[in-house]
Structure formats: C-alpha cells, structure tokens
Amino acid sequence: MAQRFNVQEGQRYVQRRGLHYQPSIWKVGAIKAGTTPIPHALLVNVDDPLQTKTISCPTLADRIYYELLSETAVAA
C-alpha cells in the first residue's frame, strides 16, 4: 500500500512545514505496513542518524509538508 503513495526506502525528503518543523534532510529507513490501516515510514535524519521519526505515507507524499529530493540532489 505504501507504493500507492510512491514512498520507498532510501528516498530523501525535506520537511517544508508542519508541527515540529525542521529543515533537515530525512531518509526513509523503513516502511511499516500491515500493523495499521495506513502505512507509515520511519525517517532518519541524514545529519544525525540517532534522530528518527515516524510519518504516515500519505503525509510524506503530500507536497505541502514534504518535498522529495531528486536523485541528482541525493547524489550531491
């Protein structure tokens, strides 16, 4: 079901706004599906791997709150 939202492990996002806004790069470390009706992504802060958070895949796919970094930006 996470595929429906086009969220995959390894993708990197920047939070644009929202509760606890942090302009950091977040990497999808894992997708948690099946335990709840809505799949969730475990995000890991690229600059501080000890900092993690869990976000629903629909919220992560919503461009109002998160922006998916392009593959070229990830490689840089």
Task: For 2-17, write each residue's pLDDT tens digit.
Answer: 556 789 999 999 988 7
In eight-state DSSP terms, residue 39 is -
- Domain boundaries of the chain, sorted by first residue: 2-75
Question: Given this model, what pLDDT does residue 75 score?
Answer: 47
Give the helix ranges, DSSP H, for 2-70: 57-61
The pLDDT mean for the chain works out to 83
Task: For 41-58, write each residue's pLDDT tens digit.
Answer: 999 999 999 999 999 999
pTM, 2 dp: 0.79
CB-based contacts of 27: which residues, under 8 Å, 6+ apart? 10, 11, 12, 13, 43, 44, 46
Q: How many Å apart are CA 73 and CA 76, to the nearest integer?
A: 5
CATH topology of domain 2-75: SH3 type barrels. (2.30.30)
